[in-house]
Amino acid sequence: MLNKIEETGSSKSTFFELLGGAESGTENIRKLVETFYDVMESDSKAKPIRAMHPADLTSAREKLFMFLTGWTGGPQLYIERYGHPFLRKRHLPFAIDESARDQWMYCMIQAMQQLGYDDKLMTKLAEQLYGVADFMRNH
Ligand code: HEM
Residues 126, 112 contacting (CB under 8 angstroms) = yes
Atom of ligand 1 nearest to the CA of 85: 41
Q: Give the whole-angstrom CA distance, residue 69 versus residue 101.
A: 21
Q: Give the whole-angstrom CA distance, residue 87 versus residue 115.
A: 26
For residue 61, give the CATH number of its domain. Answer: 1.10.490.10
Q: What is the pLDDT of residue 6?
A: 57
Q: Give the whole-angstrom CA distance, residue 27 versus residue 10.
A: 22
* Number of domains comprising the chain: 1
Q: Give the whole-angstrom CA distance, residue 95 versus residue 52.
A: 9
Give domain status of residue 86, yes or no. Answer: yes
Atom of ligand 1 nearest to the CA of 68: 30
- Please name the residue whose Cα sits nearest to atom 40 of ligand 1: 90
Which residue range(s) make up the domain with 92?
A: 20-135
Per-residue pLDDT of the chain (139 residues; tens, 9 = 90+): 345 555 545 566 899 999 999 999 999 999 999 999 999 999 999 999 999 999 999 999 999 999 999 999 999 999 999 999 999 999 999 999 999 999 999 999 999 999 999 999 999 999 999 999 999 999 9
pTM of full prediction above 0.75: yes
- Please name the residue whose Cα sits nearest to atom 35 of ligand 1: 64
Give domain status of residue 3, yes or no. Answer: no
Q: What is the pLDDT of residue 11?
A: 65
Give domain status of residue 11, yes or no. Answer: no
- Please name the residue whose Cα sits nearest to atom 24 of ligand 1: 133
Instruction: Give the Å distance between the CA of 35 and the centre of ligand 1.
Output: 15
- Please name the residue whose Cα sits nearest to atom 33 of ligand 1: 64
Give domain status of residue 8, yes or no. Answer: no
Ligand 1 site, CB within 6 A: 49, 52-54, 59-60, 63-64, 67, 82, 85, 87, 90-91, 94, 96, 100-101, 104, 129, 132-133, 136
Instruction: Give the Å distance between the CA of 4 and the centre of ligand 1.
Output: 22
Give domain status of residue 2, yes or no. Answer: no
Residues 53, 114 contacting (CB under 8 angstroms) = no
